[in-house]
Amino acid sequence: MGGVLLLALAGILAHLQLSAFALAILVWAVVASSYAFAVVLPLGAHYNQRGLTSAPPLLNRLIYFGNMVGAGGLLLGTVVLLWGAYATL
């Protein structure tokens, strides 16, 4: 799903009214989020850890951290995307 989101963003980035700094935040937040999810979701499935809480064992905590990086990156990217879309109106 992260790859599809990156492809969709590539098609609309030229139309957004964002500064270079905001554009960099948007791109790197979504890229980091996609990579975090691409690593921790299969890892969690393989080791039967969901990573929904920061409870032990250590692997569950690592998967939880990856999930939080992914969710935080998507949240930040969405806020910047909406900000740029609103400025484009």
Residue of 60, 61, 10, 72 lying closest to 36 (CA atoms): 72
Contact (Cβ atoms closer than 8 angstroms) between residue 30 and residue 38? no
Counting the structural domains of the chain, the total is 1
Q: Identify the band that residue 3 occupies on the pLDDT scale cut at 50, 70 and 90.
A: confident
Residue 19's identity, in one-letter code, is S
pTM score, whole prediction: 0.89
Q: What is the pLDDT of residues 11-64, one digit of tens each?
A: 999 999 999 999 999 999 999 999 999 999 999 999 999 999 999 999 999 999
